[in-house]
């Protein structure tokens, strides 16, 4: 099976700091793949390069064999690679429902003229957008909060809304940056089930950065470990857990 997302020789330099140094990564369709490593290892920088927020210093990034390196975040998202952020980014003054409608704008905006003249096909596409938004509110258990401002939702709900906003664009690759951060133990358990369902029911591949080892070991099929910008190990949760270099990196030994 060919890979859906392939990253080769990725590096990112900030002045004198090589934050990412020779990262390779290949994600299979529908795979759940985690990147772990100590603080400052370069995980988020890898995410920023893949999702088009940074232009990598070197490297190739391909989605279904088409290069997406250096494209910019909107183009990358349009091609089907979408992400969440360590600190949730929503339109906080808009309602939960509005956040999900806005996320679909690139679909419906093609018909600006249709909107002006209020054509039948325009009204239909607006109805479809609303149906999809309500579907995702239901899926995430957020229907009762549809008209609440996103900024006033409980933190765990904001995190789920952010994932819904990604999923509503029907991505090929969903990138989650520390999705368990700030969640309580029950919410973390629910998150594991949620990630599994997104993959199983929507066929999305998931790339995840996470510090919560319970979640990482429970949900990932493969894990890459980074330290000081470099990948130091890759394998199944079992392989990674028993890898000496990984144990050392986490225990902080020299």
Ligand X SMILES: Nc1ncnc2c1ncn2[C@@H]1O[C@H](COP(=O)(O)OP(=O)(O)OP(=O)(O)O)[C@@H](O)[C@H]1O
> Which residues of the shown chain bind ligand X in the complex (CB under 6 A)?
14, 17, 19, 37, 39-45
The residue (of 177 and 187) whose beta carbon lies closer to ligand X is 177
The residue (of 167 and 215) whose beta carbon lies closer to ligand X is 215
Shortest CB 182 distance to ligand X, Å: 14
| Token code pair at residue 215 | 């979640």
Q: What is the DSSP string of 13-30?
A: EETTEEEEEEEEEEE-TT
Shortest CB 184 distance to ligand X, Å: 20
Give dist(CA 254, CA 252) in Å, integer: 7
Tell me which DSSP letter residue 54 carries. Answer: S
The residue (of 41 and 167) whose beta carbon lies closer to ligand X is 41
Shortest CB 35 distance to ligand X, Å: 8
Radius of gyration over every alpha carbon of the chain, rounded to an integer in angstroms: 19
The residue (of 14 and 155) whose beta carbon lies closer to ligand X is 14
Shortest CB 38 distance to ligand X, Å: 7
Shortest CB 158 distance to ligand X, Å: 19
The residue (of 42 and 231) whose beta carbon lies closer to ligand X is 42
């Amino acid at each position: 099976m060919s890979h859906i997302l392939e990253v080769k020789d990725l590096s990112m330099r900030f002045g004198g700091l090589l934050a990412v140094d020779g990262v390779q990564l290949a994600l299979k369709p529908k795979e759940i793949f985690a990147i772990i490593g100590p603080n400052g290892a370069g995980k988020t920088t890898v995410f920023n390069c893949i999702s088009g927020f940074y232009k990598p210093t070197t490297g190739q990034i391909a989605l279904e064999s088409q290069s997406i390196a250096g494209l910019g975040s909107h183009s990358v998202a349009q091609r089907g690679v979408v992400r969440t952020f360590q600190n949730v980014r929503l339109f906080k003054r808009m309602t939960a429902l509005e956040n999900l409608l806005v996320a679909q704008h690139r679909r419906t905006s093609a018909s600006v003229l249709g909107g002006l003249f209020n054509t039948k096909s325009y009204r239909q596409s607006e109805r479809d957008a609303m149906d999809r938004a309500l579907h995702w509110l239901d899926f995430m258990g957020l229907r009762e909060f549809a008209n609440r401002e996103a900024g006033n939702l409980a933190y765990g709900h904001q995190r789920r809304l952010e994932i819904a906003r990604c999923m509503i664009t029907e991505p090929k690759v969903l990138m989650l940056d520390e999705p368990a951060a700030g969640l309580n133990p029950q919410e973390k358990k629910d998150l594991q089930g949620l990630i599994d369902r997104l993959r199983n029911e929507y066929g999305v591949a998931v790339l995840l950065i996470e510090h919560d080892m319970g979640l990482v070991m429970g949900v990932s099929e493969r894990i890459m470990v980074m330290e000081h910008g470099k990948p130091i190990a890759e394998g199944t949760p079992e392989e990674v857990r028993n890898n000496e270099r990984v144990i050392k990196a986490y225990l902080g030994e020299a």
